[in-house]
Amino acid sequence: MPNGDAGEDWSVSEVRTVARGIATAVSPEGGLESVQASLLGAITQALEGVEVDYGDLEPLSAEELAAVLDGRGGDVQRRVVHHMVLGELILKPLPPEVARRVAHYADALGVEDQFVRVARRYAQGAFGLAWLDLHRSGFAEHWESARMDQLKTTVKAPDQLSPGEPDPELAELWRAFERYPEGTLGRCVWEMYHGRGFPLPGSQSGASAYLAQHDFVHVLADYGTNLDGELEVFALIGRADPDPKGFAWLATLLGLFETGYVADAGFFTGDLRERHLDTSEMHVRIADALRRGRAGCDAVGVDLLEVDYHELADRPVVEVRNELGIPDKSAAAQACGSNGVFDLDGMSRIQQSYAATLQPEG
């Protein structure tokens, strides 16, 4: 799927041709697995509006794919490679021959990308090295350059994916959100924290100021806070980032929650008792999150983790959402169970148990 930027003009034939290249690159021996075909098909449908049966495509060589994408620009080619990486990361185990083939396709497209290397680490069983590569290739660079004034803190945590350091002034700013009018961004994010028993940023065991940025997006995008909702919100955040390195968020969450390649990412800990991408419904939800992220990228072109949400906290959620160019969820995603941030089904079992203690008796 081309998945280009605004202004790209792709024919149905070109979309199908690129899909052939992606399917060929990520196909294990014996053919594309059904979970791969379903996820890639859902993404193509959401992003390009073209229905493609990935399980029934003729092979396309790396050189032929490179010719199709020639002249389209490096970002388009890189994002095509990222869709290949998605297609291989959901394999468990990840066959070494698939990782090598994706690397060959990336070379043919002129894309030198750390995520291709991460996938090869997974295929080799070098999970610790893969995790280090993920840190180097995406979000670590972002938080190192994060502006403390936007995060409203002077505390620079050594690892922003771990629980934050105590910061009384930051915690007080978050407590003040309770006093904002109903329907505002600040009040809604406070209600999300309060309703789940989350410790506020700046308090003991609370999220770091940087990681807490994604909680504003939970509210703006209306995604739940269970693991399915986390996959959706980070798919949106990753694709909304004009820098393709934003893909690190989705790659990490997939590795953490879906395959077990990443056992622990600090504040997030994987629970492999449930598979989250085994259903076509979840594929539609992830694809729609990518669509919404791309729309925001095309409209505004900002990293959503670098927005000064505290300056926007007194404004209505709908107004801020529109300003950031985030469209509504699709009807298809909602029909597939994409829960809202305040829906009980959008909470984990632990969060639901806590919420029940807040309900008045009788």
Q: What is the DSSP string of 211-247?
A: TTHHHHHHHHHT--SSHHHHHHHHHHHHHHSSSGGGH
Looking at the structure, tell me whether residues 353 and 292 fall in a common domain. Answer: yes
Range of the domain at 281: 139-362
Q: Are residues 200 and 270 in the same domain?
A: yes
d(CA 361, CA 229): 29
Average pLDDT over residues 1-24: 80
CA distance 232 to 306: 19
Q: Is pLDDT of 353 > 80? A: yes
Q: Per residue in 119-135, pLDDT tens?
A: 887 787 766 666 666 66
Same domain, yes or no: 219 and 274: yes
- Higher pLDDT: 270 or 181? It is 181
* pTM for this predicted structure: 0.90
Among 105, 137, 169, give the residue marking a domain's end.
Answer: 137
Residues 359 and 216 in one domain: yes
Specify whether 253 is located in the same domain as 122: no
95 lies in the same domain as 165: no
Q: Is there a single domain that holds both residue 286 and residue 158?
A: yes
Place 6 in a pLDDT band, splitting at 50, 70 and 90: very low
Q: Map tokens 């894309």 to a residue.
A: 111
**Strands 268-269 vs 264-265: parallel, antiparallel or unpaired:** antiparallel
Residue 291 near residue 46, CB atoms below 8 Å: yes
Q: In whole numbers, what is the pLDDT of the chain averaged over residues?
A: 87
For residues 221 and 229, the answer to whether their CB atoms sit within 8 Å is no
What pLDDT sits at residue 89?
87
Instruction: Give the model confidence (pLDDT) of 241-280 as tens digits.
Output: 998 888 877 877 776 555 555 544 444 554 444 556 778 9
Instruction: Examine the domain organization and report whether 144 and 175 are in the same domain.
Output: yes
Integer Cα distance of 212 and 193 in angstroms = 11
Q: How many domains does the chain have?
A: 2
CA angle 287, 277, 136 (to 5 degrees): 75
